[in-house]
């Protein structure tokens, strides 16, 4: 018998923080006062929460035999036996149905969700062992969220914002691999054999630089100046600090779970609050 807390843990609700990328278009376009549009974005967010949890469950179901031998993953609900495989599959199907319900009558969103599931299952069952391809698929998941919150709901996506989102996603993906490299050999992913430490450091440096450059270009672009004035320009130093602080945490081995690690560091949280203060200053 599978307990409710174990089923909730299997869904990994803390990972829903990643789905906040769906709100980027609504926030940067200052369209939150548009009730119908905000509702469409909320539905897209809910659909991604359902689909992402379903993918996590299907991945855990597929990997349950190997997870039993892993020093950390053996504690997952399926690997530990806290949730039965049949119950896990039933929950995954229920979540997929709920996600389709939230995305109903929005063909673009349904296509993006279908791509998200396809890419993530391909990643988990095969492509996670292919260097660079693995992180590119992780980044594509964030890009699909951005497109779900812009193109799918009728908000014209900013080119610079999309590029900044892409490079941030790549930076987070390579940061995750860097943090995983600090595990002992038994707890490391097989793909890390193909990622020398110096190569991961270079990938992190390149993607962080590209993230900061594209965000800076977005902040100073005519469209951002028209919508936000000079506010975003003043947010650039905050973004630089936040990313440097995150890179520091990664090199201490704390970047494997982005959702949890972003919430653990008070300085990163302070940077988020400061960014919100600059972005929302004099707006209300």
State the DSSP string of 111-175: HHHHHHHHHHHHHHHTGGGSTTHHHHHHHHHHHHHHHHTTGGGTPPPPHHHHHHHHHHHHHHHHH
pLDDT at 261 over 70: yes
Cα angle 118, 190, 134 (rounded to 5 degrees) comes to: 35
- Residue 26 is encoded by which pair of tokens? 């609504």
What distance in Å separates the CA atoms of residue 179 and residue 150, rounded to the nearest whole number?
A: 31
121 phi and psi, to 5 degrees?
-70, -40
Residues 152-168, mean pLDDT to the nearest whole number: 89
Count structural domains, the chain: 2
Domain boundary among 150, 166, 197: 150
Place of tokens 């995150």: 246
144 and 188 within one domain: no
Provide the pLDDT for residue 198: 94
pLDDT > 80? residue 173:
yes
**Same-domain pairing of 9 and 139:** yes
Give per-residue pLDDT as tens, 62-100. 888 887 887 778 888 888 888 898 999 999 999 999 999
Q: Residue 185: pLDDT band by 50, 70, 90 thresholds?
A: low
**Would you state the pLDDT for residue 243?**
95
Q: Are residue 188 and residue 136 in the same domain, yes or no?
A: no
Terminal-residue alpha carbon distance, the chain: 51
The model's confidence at residue 188, banded by pLDDT at 50, 70 and 90, is: low
**Two structure tokens written together for 47:** 């659909």
217 has a pLDDT exceeding 80: yes
Rounded-to-integer distance, Cα 192 and Cα 200, Å: 10
What percent of the chain has a predicted confidence (pLDDT) above 90? 55
Q: Are 26 and 155 in contact (CB under 8 A)?
A: yes
Locate tokens 């020093």: which residue? Answer: 71
Indicate if 135 and 13 belong to the same structural domain.
yes
Check residue 101 and report its DSSP letter. H
The C-alpha R_g of the chain, in whole angstroms, comes to 19
Instruction: Name the residue with higher pLDDT: 224 or 136.
Output: 136
C-alpha 82/C-alpha 6 separation (Å) is 6
Phi, psi angles (nearest 5°) of residue 11: -75, -15
Cβ count near 29 (within 10 Å): 19
d(CA 46, CA 36): 15
pLDDT in tens, 116-138: 999 998 998 888 889 999 999 99
Least reliable range by pLDDT among 92-96, 98-102, 221-225, 255-259: 255-259
Q: Which of 150, 180, 213 is the last residue of a domain?
A: 150
pLDDT at 52: 95
Q: Which residue bears the tokens 């964030």?
A: 142
> How high is the pLDDT of residue 109?
94
Asked if the model's pLDDT at residue 260 lies above 80, the reply is no
CB 260 within 8 Å of CB 246: no
Which pair of tokens denotes residue 44?
A: 């897209």
Q: Which DSSP state fits 17?
A: G
Task: Give the lowest-confidence range in 39-43, 60-64, 144-148, 274-278.
Answer: 60-64
The model carries a pTM of: 0.86
Q: Are residues 179 and 143 in the same domain?
A: no
Same domain? 77 vs 164: no
CATH number, position 64: 1.10.357.140
Same domain, 90 and 66: yes
Domain of residue 52, residue span? 1-150
pLDDT band at 284 (very low <50, low <70, confident <90, very high): very low
- pLDDT exceeds 80 at position 228: no
- Does the pLDDT value for residue 283 go beyond 70? no
Q: Are residues 191 and 141 in the same domain?
A: no
Can you give the length of the chain in residues?
284
For the beta carbon of residue 143, count every other beta carbon within 10 angstroms: 19
């Amino acid at each position: 018998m599978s307990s409710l807390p174990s089923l909730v843990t299997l869904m990994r609700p803390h990972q829903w923080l990643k789905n906040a990328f769906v709100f980027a278009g609504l926030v940067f376009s200052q369209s939150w006062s548009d009730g119908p549009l905000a509702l469409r974005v909320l539905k897209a967010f809910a659909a991604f929460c359902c689909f992402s949890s379903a993918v996590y469950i299907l991945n855990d179901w597929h990997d349950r035999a190997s997870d039993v031998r892993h020093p950390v993953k053996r504690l997952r609900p399926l690997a530990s036996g806290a949730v039965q495989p049949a119950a896990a599959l039933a929950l995954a199907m229920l979540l997929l149905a709920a996600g389709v319900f939230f995305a109903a009558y929005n063909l673009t969103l349904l296509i993006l969700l279908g791509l998200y599931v396809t890419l993530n299952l391909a990643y988990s069952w095969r492509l996670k062992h292919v260097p660079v391809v693995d992180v590119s698929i992780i980044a594509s998941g964030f890009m699909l969220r951005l497109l779900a919150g812009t193109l799918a709901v009728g908000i014209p996506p900013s080119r610079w914002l999309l590029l900044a989102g892409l490079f941030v996603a790549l930076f987070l993906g390579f940061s995750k691999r860097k943090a995983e490299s600090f595990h002992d050999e038994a707890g490391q992913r097989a793909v890390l054999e193909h990622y020398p430490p110096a190569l991961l450091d270079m990938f992190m440096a390149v993607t962080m630089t590209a993230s900061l450059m594209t965000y800076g270009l977005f902040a100073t672009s005519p469209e951002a100046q028209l919508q936000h004035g000079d506010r975003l320009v003043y947010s650039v130093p905050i973004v630089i600090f936040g990313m440097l602080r995150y890179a520091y945490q990664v090199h201490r081995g704390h970047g494997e779970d982005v959702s949890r690690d972003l919430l653990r560091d008070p300085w990163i949280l302070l940077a988020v609050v400061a960014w919100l203060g600059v972005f929302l200053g004099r707006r209300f």
